């Protein structure tokens, strides 16, 4: 899809969209189009249920005198609450309507609400980004779909008083979105396509952007003592890989890096503690944490971020093979601490225990943030609206919460106090990987805490955020790419040199 920012008044051959705020307050563009059509828009609204709420859509054939084929009214929500994220949600709803309609050309008329602290250029950029996010489609394996069944939107024009400013504002949004869409692709791929070695190959390709990519295979993992991670993968024919990405955007004066660590279970059967068959096919997305790390590292490199960062992606496949790890086994982690395996389906915390200690001990980072589709418990607590946030550092937690609010990838902080530590103590080892049914998300986070030393650390449990079974405003069903925009914004606001 080609995206262009142009001055208002350009003839749009396909659909033209204008916004209306909640309470039916028209934007300047809508008022102008209403006058041009002799009040056709107002009459259409008066006989409909359109109220201007975010996501409301009302389409009508273009009245006489317009060169466009159709006019689409888009609800923008409350004028006082309209910002960049609201623009993206409205644009996503517009895209969701236009794509299946078979339209090839779309124009959006953009103007800032009266009294807004944001200008037209910002809103134009976010409208374009919202369409791009919602227009994503993973269809590489569709072979029988007829051409007239496929979305055909090829050209998007955003009409704004400041096209140059909009292009300037859009560039960083587009760069980060490109990284997020790449991760949607990787997370959507089936387990026979993305497995530890093939994921590593995808990471190596990013060296073209200036990332230094290092891959540790089984022998090097053994040498370093990452036995907890190796234990998870020992039942699979696909050997574990630790993918390490380096970005030195701040150079030698930039100091210690910020470290991102991702759980990368490319397929999770549960191992010997096997999962039920229902929806097990979705367990290809159990590598979404590692995907988010790959995505943010790509985003930092693509925009030449002035920061030193390291990304650690711990890639394994959890299978019930003849050599699979057993419940009751004890593993000695890289840190030297021992972990009793109570449940082989609580494998993510085993993988991360080694990956976190590796990042902590090898790179001495200024902060560590890990992402993992770790527990169903966090979904029980927060549903599909917030990722769970656990942190040992209040400042880091606050920075993450702010970045989540700014990008719409929201987090909710959960407790992480020593009251919970007794739940993960083993009778025969230092720790156990399952503290029981209750507060499992906290138990998992408490275990991970034992492997980061005194480094400021945050754990994001994104089990409810990495995959969606229903369409969202800017995300179609499937992989979400959650975490890429969040972490890129975190770096830009709190860690990047100026």
The set of catalytic residues is 275, 349
Q: Which sign, positive or negative, has the C-alpha torsion 1, 31, 52, 384?
A: positive
* CA–CA dist 262, 287 (Å, integer): 8
Place of tokens 């009294």: 115
Give per-residue burial for 184-218: e unless 16+ CB within 10 Å, then b.
Answer: bbbbbbebeebbbebbbebbeebeeeebebebbeb
The order of strands in the sheet holding 258-268 is 212-216, 241-248, 308-318, 258-268, 367-372, 457-461, 387-391, 411-413
Retrieve residue 91's tokens. Answer: 């644009």
250 CA to centre of own chain: 25
Question: Residue 134: CA atoms inside 13 Å, Cβ hemisphere, count?
Answer: 27
**Closest to 346 (Cα-Cα) out of 290, 278, 387, 286:** 286
Burial group, residue 333, by CB count within 10 angstroms (0-12, 13-18, 19+): buried
* CA–CA dist 265, 394 (Å, integer): 29
Q: Are strands 212-216 and 105-109 parallel, antiparallel or unpaired?
A: unpaired
Q: In sequence order, what DSSP letters do the residues of 362-385 get, joined into one string?
A: HH--SEEEEEE---HHHHHHHTTT
Which CA distances in Å does 304 have to 146, 205, 309, 408, 497? Answer: 41, 17, 12, 23, 11
Please say whether the beta carbons of 4 and 158 come within 8 A: yes
Place of tokens 């994503």: 136
Which CA distances in Å does 497 have to 172, 212, 250, 486, 492? Answer: 17, 20, 7, 18, 8
Which CA distances in Å does 395 have to 60, 108, 402, 483? Answer: 51, 40, 11, 19
């Amino acid at each position: 899809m080609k995206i262009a920012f142009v001055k208002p008044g350009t003839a749009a051959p396909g659909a033209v969209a204008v916004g209306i705020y909640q309470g039916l307050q028209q934007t300047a563009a809508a008022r102008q189009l209403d006058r041009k059509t002799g009040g056709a828009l107002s009459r259409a609204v008066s006989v409909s249920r359109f109220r201007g709420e975010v996501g409301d859509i009302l389409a009508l054939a273009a009245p006489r005198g317009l060169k466009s084929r159709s006019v689409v009214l888009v609800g923008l929500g409350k004028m006082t609450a309209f910002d960049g994220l609201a623009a993206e949600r409205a644009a996503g709803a517009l895209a969701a309507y236009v794509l299946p309609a078979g339209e090839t050309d779309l124009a959006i008329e953009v103007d800032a609400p009266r009294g807004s602290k944001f200008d037209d250029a910002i809103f134009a950029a976010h409208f374009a980004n919202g369409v791009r996010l919602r227009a994503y489609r993973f269809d590489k394996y569709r072979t029988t779909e007829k051409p007239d069944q496929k979305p055909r939107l090829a050209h998007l024009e955003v009409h704004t008083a400041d096209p140059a400013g909009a292009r300037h504002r859009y560039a960083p949004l587009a760069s980060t979105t490109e990284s997020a869409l790449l991760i949607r692709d990787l997370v959507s791929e089936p387990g026979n396509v993305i497995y530890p070695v093939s994921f590593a190959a995808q990471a190596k390709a990013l060296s073209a952007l200036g990332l230094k990519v290092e891959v540790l295979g089984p022998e090097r993992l053994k040498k370093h003592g990452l036995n907890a991670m190796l234990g998870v993968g020992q039942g699979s024919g696909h050997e574990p890989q630790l993918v390490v990405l380096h970005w030195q955007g701040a150079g030698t004066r930039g100091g210690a890096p910020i470290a991102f660590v991702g759980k990368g279970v490319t397929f999770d059967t549960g191992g010997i503690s096997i999962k039920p068959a229902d929806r097990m096919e979705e367990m290809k997305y159990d590598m979404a944490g590692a995907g988010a790390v790959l995505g943010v590292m790509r985003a930092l490199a693509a925009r030449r971020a002035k920061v030193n960062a390291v990304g650690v992606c711990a890639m394994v496949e959890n299978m019930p093979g003849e050599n699979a790890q057993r419940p009751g086994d004890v593993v000695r982690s890289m840190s030297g601490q021992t972990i009793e395996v109570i449940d082989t389906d609580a494998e993510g915390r085993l993988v991360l225990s080694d990956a976190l200690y590796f990042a902590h001990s090898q790179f001495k980072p200024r902060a560590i943030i890990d992402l993992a589709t770790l527990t169903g418990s966090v979904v029980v607590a927060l549903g599909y609206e917030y990722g769970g946030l656990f942190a040992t550092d209040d400042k880091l937690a606050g920075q993450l919460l702010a970045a989540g609010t700014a990008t719409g990838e929201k987090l909710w902080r959960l407790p992480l106090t020593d009251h919970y530590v007794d739940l993960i103590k083993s009778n025969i080892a230092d720790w156990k990987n399952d503290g029981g049914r209750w507060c499992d998300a906290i138990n998992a986070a408490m275990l991970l805490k034992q492997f980061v030393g005194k480094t400021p650390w945050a754990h994001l449990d994104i089990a409810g955020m990495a995959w969606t079974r229903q369409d969202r405003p800017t995300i179609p069903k499937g992989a979400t790419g959650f975490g890429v925009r969040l972490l890129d914004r975190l770096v830009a606001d709190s860690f990047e040199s100026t």
